Structure 1
Amino acid sequence: MQSYLETTVAAAVAAAVALLLVEVVHRVTRRLGRRSLLMTELTDHSHRPFQVAATALAVQLAVRFTTLYAVGSPWRQLVLRTLVLAVIAATAWLVASLLVVVEDTALARFRVDVPNNRHARRVRTQVVMLRRITIAVVVILAIGVMLMTFPAVRGVGAGVLTSAGVAAAVAALAAQSLLGNVFAGLQLAFSDAVRLDDVVVVEGEWGRIEELTLSYVVVQIWDDRRLILPTSYFTRTPFQNWTRTEAAVLGTAEFDVDWAVPVQAMREELRRLCESTELWDGRVCVLQVTDATGGMIQVRALVSAADAGSLWDLRCLVREHLVAWIRDHRPTALPRMRAELGDAAGPLPWQVVAPRRSIRRRPDTDIPDDARVFGGSDDGEARSETFGGSDDTDARTGTGAGRAEPADARR
């Protein structure tokens, strides 16, 4: 009984000394690291696992050296085995917290709450993936070391190693889907195909990448629903990434109107609308007739915005404004079906064709050329060069036409 009491007292003293030393180190580190993000993260995240690991190690050493008289005692082996497992688990916790601190410190250098954060989102995606992998590896290694403390497990270790090839093949076959998603997650993280906060269109839904893990991807739909997809979906299924290179995007608003619509007046009205709203980023404001078959023509307004959310609101605003403008100011341009009876030269009101007046611009106004997508402005010229190819290619083919004409009437 006296030996048990001495062991208990020694363990308690060792635990108290360990806690005191850890507290001293914690306070010194906090005072010295007031201006260091790394030291602040260490004091905030690694203090508790450091306490547990130091206390478990101190108690384990105290019990081991105060019970040397009972080396073969079953209770000593049980207590020491439990303390060793506690030390291994606490050490794994401490190592995982240190890795998290290092990763958080690295992430702090890349802010995602600023414009043009594509590089920061890419680094954040990769670091988050590495964090999940490293923590999983630490946990697996800790469990393996804990199992190796049992003699029975060490005895079967040789047999397990000899059949490792067969076991690996069976495991790979059984976990084919899981491993496929894991490798797909790594591919997404390091191929830069998709990042956190990217705006994508998947399964006909428009949303934002909210979470990216090794096995699944969470897409936040625009109406606050969540679409959960396996990571392998993004490696085997085409999808749209609206923020692959930049957040600024283009959008359209299409109208079916009568042939009597004044296109130039409608174009100028679109320009006035874009210049009066903060949703427009000042890059593209184009109105074109994209189709003229049947009894109506199709007019398309192409506008640009700084991000996908602003573009959605801008497209809706363009539709509402131009619909109201046609209804109130150009009612003859509303879509209609014609059926003419009688003599075409008769005095009926709709058969009277007024002489056309040419649209003249006032000399003191400078209305931009909004009739072309591929030209007419600096942004249009750059887009024309992107989709037109090089002059050298045309020279080698003998066309001599310079840049190729975009399809569908320079749409």
Structure 2
Amino acid sequence: MDELLLRSLTPGVLGILVRRGADFAAAEDAVQDALVEAVRTWPSDPPRDPKGWMVTVAWRRFLDATRTDTARRRREALLDEEPAPGPAPAVDDTLQLYFLCAHPSLTQASAVALTLRAVGGLTTRQIARAYLVPEATMAQRISRAKRTVSDVRLDRPGDVATVLRVLYLVFNEGYSGDVDLAAEAIRLTRRLAAAVDHPEAAGLLALMLLHHARRAARTAPDGSLVPLAEQDRGSWDTASIAEGVRILQAALARDRLGELQAQAAIAALHADAPTAEETDWVQIVEWYDELVRLTDSPIVRLNRAVAVGEADGPRAGLAALADLDDSLPRHGAVAAYLHERDGDPATAARLYAEAALKAPNLAERDHLTRRAAGLNARGGG
């Protein structure tokens, strides 16, 4: 059973049902039923036209549900004629489904869940396991999201930037449960970049590939975090790096710079350095300056302070940090690192310990705690 094939067919089949007159929620349920039937029957009886088979089965499931649902009698006209089985229409509604699932009326969590189900073809159980929540909780979230967008027409223009934000949220979930969300986000972004003429879509794909290339080196065998400067660069995925750089260069050549392209350019400079000491920090600062111009984001300014500290020395980095609100996430960790670089281990240890208390996850908390303990041990504290 080719699970990837099934998942790739999902958005096209869903779009066909919606165009035939099914509302989104009912169509999506019917497609999920067809997926279950495919898993059951295809291994022993594979169809010659997988998409046509999926459309036929999903449409019949939709009609069966409609016939038994008195609340949907307004669709009775659809029951008079059932399209004959045959090749599926060539229209591809995948792009419109991206926009629908990233609808501004949805919360970020709901948009992500609906994208994974409707465009990614994942089951509710898989999505729930990936987010480490009960299946019933995820089912309710997806059901509410489907009701929210049920009456939204597929032919309305959507916001590519919103879709990109949703896909980046999926990517940043990384890996949990039995679904590799980072890999799934790359797959979906690759499809989006091929379907839409937008340099930021290419920028996001390049950024994902460049970050994902370092995945194997980010954690030690015991699960602890490994800082970028200490990672084994020999374990980085050079093929992903090369592809990411190639995609980024093509996007930058269009001279329509956006935030995601600038982030990818910074990631490419890190990937290009044979060693941490050979990193081109001066050029990285220049790209952060571009990001500040594009976004004026405090988080970007925080990351820029680290780059300034590497390019011009830790005191220059601390000066850049002084203008920022110390309540920013990871502000304390950045200050600790710069003080450590500046030869002030006592202050650094205190700041690392304080930052550990505010860490967003266990791995980061343990990493910061170890940094504080190491400095205290070396200083006799």
Flag whether TM exceeds 0.5 (same fold): no
TM-score (norm 1): 0.23
Larger radius of gyration: 1
TM-score (norm 2): 0.25
More strand by share: 1
